[in-house]
Amino acid sequence: MTKRTIGAKRRLNETRILEAAERVFAERGYSAASTAAIAAMAGLPKANLHYYFRTKQALYRRVIENIIAKWVETSDPIRTDADPKAALSSYIAGKIDYSRLHPHASKVFASEILHGAPTISERLSGDLKIWLDGKCRVIEGWIAAGKMARVDPRHLFFIIWAATQTYADFDVQAAALLGQRNLRAGDYQAAREMVTAMVLAACGLA
């Protein structure tokens, strides 16, 4: 065994544990998620999980950090040099895609915030606020340039997040009320079209 092989195995096991943890945390919530269940889903004995991640809290923190990183990435289309209508449409489409493709990640994040954000409250009022401030300045720049109607950029983001993430976080409710077992591709498409129409109209871009 070379050092490189050992490192590869560590990375492989860590990845499997992180994926299993994201799923179990999403389905049960932090407290009800047992390390035994996560280990079983990752195909490892429970003691091995504690070898790679000393505590449940440390494992959870790693899961959350990964999710935040992806969450921030989805806002890449919001750039000063972009066209507001195209940028907002692309942003919404990306958020809906994320809800469809990564519902577990969205749910873990939602559960964290829902119960007071104990793990990431410093980040919310720290680097994530700074990140959002920057994105809001982009919107304000578009408004100042007369490219779109005057709206409160922060509430615009809050409402876009809510309207897109609800199709991941509350997929069970939406499916049940649609008389289905799961959400289908057409449901996400209808959601994307409706959210886009509402946002563009509110921004005077329809």
What residues make contact with DNA under the rule CB under 7 A? 6-7, 9-10, 13, 33-36, 44-48, 50-51, 54-57
Residue 6 or 114 having the CB closest to a second copy: 114
Residue 44 or 151 having the CB closest to a second copy: 151
Residue 7 or 141 having the CB closest to DNA: 7
Residue 57 or 125 having the CB closest to DNA: 57
Q: Are the beta carbons of 191 and 95 closer than 8 angstroms?
A: no
Q: Are the beta carbons of 69 and 102 closer than 8 angstroms?
A: no
**With contacts defined by CB under 8 A, how many residues of the chain interact with a second copy?**
52
Closest separation between CB of residue 183 and a second copy, Å? 10
Closest separation between CB of residue 7 and DNA, Å? 6
Q: Which of residues 117-146 bind a second copy (CB under 8 A)?
A: 117, 121, 124-125, 128-129, 132
What is the separation of C-alpha 71 from the centre of its chain, rounded to a whole number of angstroms? 5
Q: Which does 169 bind (CB under 5 to 8 A by kind): a second copy, DNA, none?
A: a second copy
CA distance 66 to 63: 5
What sections of the chain are H helices per DSSP? 3-28, 35-42, 46-52, 56-73, 84-101, 103-114, 121-125, 127-144, 153-169, 171-177, 185-202
Query: Is 37 one of the binding residues for a second copy (CB under 8 A)?
Result: no
Quote the DSSP letter at residue 77. T
Half-sphere CA count of 25, side-chain side, radius 13 A: 26
What is the separation of C-alpha 96 from the centre of its chain, rounded to a whole number of angstroms? 10
Closest separation between CB of residue 106 and a second copy, Å? 10
For residue 175, give both structure tokens: 């499916």
Radius of gyration of the chain (CA): 20
For a second copy, the binding residues (CB under 8 A) are 27-32, 107, 110-111, 113-117, 121, 124-125, 128-129, 132, 151-152, 154-156, 158-159, 161-163, 165-167, 169-170, 172-174, 176-179, 190-191, 194-195, 197-199, 201-202, 206
